[in-house]
Structure 1
């Protein structure tokens, strides 16, 4: 990967990591489902008027919007409001790699090399330590919601693959069109219409800044750069850099919210990322050199 491209990719990883702290800022007063709906509404409009619809069936765009909007980011945002720290939310969301690997083995009968199996075992053991050694930064409800998000990430990959789209950025923008309304309806079904008026009353500048950051730097700029990298470089070159996202998320959580991991969680986080790295790294690339050649997804 060229140096300028690498620096640009690392910048996006930093933005995606910092995004988890911005999510926490945005859901402090406003329900996470409504804040997430606002994020995608801003990301879609007015961009959608300048981007032609990708040549795929509508069912793929609708299902992508539901899974990406409600399943991933609605649940990830909600997990933070029920006690999961922003940094831990990012780390645990990376568990989608384990789920995707399991789906590939069980459903698609894919074969996994010993290296990936070792990585999966290491990551699973690290997850147990991360959860059991909590200092109050992990809750049962938070784990349930972030696991739904991780499963949804795997489902999203299946939807994109089935669609056979070659217009990744357009597919992302048009798919997000179907995220805001389901998110709002979900929030209303849980709490009634008063949740909307409460959001209006409690909305402040922090919420606005957080939602705008999630819509533009995180979603539009981030995915624009990411898709360019996917076009210019093979996935085996780009994918491992996403391991930087949880690192940046943990750092930003520490500086913005004083989120601190126990010593056991720090060690477990490192082992977890090494395990995930063993799964996603190119077959012939040394584990500790791959981060100089790669990006991730958030």
Structure 2
């Protein structure tokens, strides 16, 4: 990935990290399935009215919307409503990165290098340690729901990569058309008409305004701007290079949740989180350029050969 794309990925990291405390605030007013439906409805309406349909195959458009919009947020919000702390949710959700790499390897034939395999392995072990710890000190269900959301995100990532939208922002807007109706049906079933009615009838109270502003942040910044940039990066870089950056979101998520709510995190979770972050940093590190001394002044890099670590490296050749 070029430096520009790496900086854009880090910008998305900050936006998505702040998204978790914003979601926790929004859930004070809106039940989880309704909140997810409102998030995407706010984007779906202007998309249908003002944005041309992206020039991608319908199956990939539905796949991105179902994976990222429906599965990810239905499970994530349900997990947070069930007691998953926002900071820890930002960490567990990053299981989407190893899920994406595995799905891309199986369905897209993208090669996973030894370095990436080691880094993702460390990240997976860290996530497993968090799940095991939470199972002993708190309910495991919120962790399982959040992991299911991460799998949904990974499915959406792979579909976005295959869509290769010429204008990724159009894909970002139109993927919002897919989840609202299924989420509203789920909201009626799980949240119930009474709870839905109460969330709207109390919107004029002072306490509700914080949740409304949080909802607007979730829709405009986390969804529109964040996924717009993310889909752009996926359209011009391999999934295995883009996905690991999402695993840095917990740095912002945990810190912002600590500042906003005073959420603590145990030593076990800190160590496991460091394993997750360290794994992604190692997996996303670019390979070193190996140039034979006798060819240093020759033509620019062209062919590839294996380095001792088993990864492809650029080398100059005569």
**Normalised by the shorter chain, which TM-score bucket?**
0.7 to 0.9
Q: CA deviation at 1:184?
A: 0.8
Q: Work out which structure has the larger RCO, using CA pairs closer than 8 Å and 6 or more positions apart in sequence.
A: 1
1:220 is matched with which residue? 224
2:280 is matched with which residue? 276
**8 Å Cα contact 1:67/1:155 also seen in 2:** yes
2:311 is matched with which residue? none
* CA 1:48–1:13: 2 relative to 1, 3 Å: farther
Q: CA deviation at 1:237?
A: 7.4
User: Which string of whole-angstrom CA distances, capped at 9 and with x for unpartnered residues, describes residues 87-116 of structure 1?
Assistant: 111111111122223334555665533222
Q: Matches of residues 277-296 of structure 1 in structure 2 within 5 Å?
A: 277-284=281-288
Of 27-36 and 222-231, the range deviating more from structure 2: 222-231
Of 15-24 and 43-52, the range deviating more from structure 2: 43-52
2:52 is matched with which residue? 52
2:256 is matched with which residue? 252
Q: CA deviation at 1:182?
A: 1.0
Structure 1: 5+ residue stretches without partners: 286-298
* CA 1:191–1:237: 2 relative to 1, 3 Å: closer
2:108 is the alignment partner of 1:93:
no
Structure 1: how far apart are the matches of 2:70 and 2:145? 11
Q: CA deviation at 1:66?
A: 2.4
Structure 2: how far apart are the matches of 1:6 and 1:70? 27
**8 Å Cα contact 1:134/1:262 also seen in 2:** no
Q: Matches of residues 1-298 of structure 1 in structure 2 within 5 Å?
A: 10-105=10-105, 111-134=111-134, 139-203=139-203, 204-226=208-230, 240-284=244-288
Q: CA deviation at 1:19?
A: 0.4
Normalized against structure 1, the TM-score is what? Answer: 0.82
- Greater Rg over alpha carbons, structure: 2
**8 Å Cα contact 1:66/1:182 also seen in 2:** no
Normalized against structure 2, the TM-score is what? Answer: 0.77
Q: CA deviation at 1:156?
A: 1.0
Structure 1: how far apart are the matches of 2:137 and 2:23? 16
Of 72-81 and 61-70, the range deviating more from structure 2: 61-70
Of 245-254 and 125-134, the range deviating more from structure 2: 125-134
**8 Å Cα contact 1:83/1:138 also seen in 2:** no
User: Which string of whole-angstrom CA distances, capped at 9 and with x for unpartnered residues, describes residues 47-99 of structure 1?
Assistant: 54332111223343334322222201221122111111111111111111222
SS at match of 1:161: helix
SS at match of 2:144: helix
RMSD after superposition: 3.1
Q: CA deviation at 1:225?
A: 4.1
Q: CA deviation at 1:135?
A: 10
**8 Å Cα contact 1:133/1:262 also seen in 2:** no
Structure 1: how far apart are the matches of 2:9 and 2:110? 30
1:290 is matched with which residue? none
* CA 1:129–1:228: 2 relative to 1, 3 Å: closer
Structure 1: how far apart are the matches of 2:125 and 2:102? 16
Q: CA deviation at 1:268?
A: 1.3
SS at match of 1:200: helix
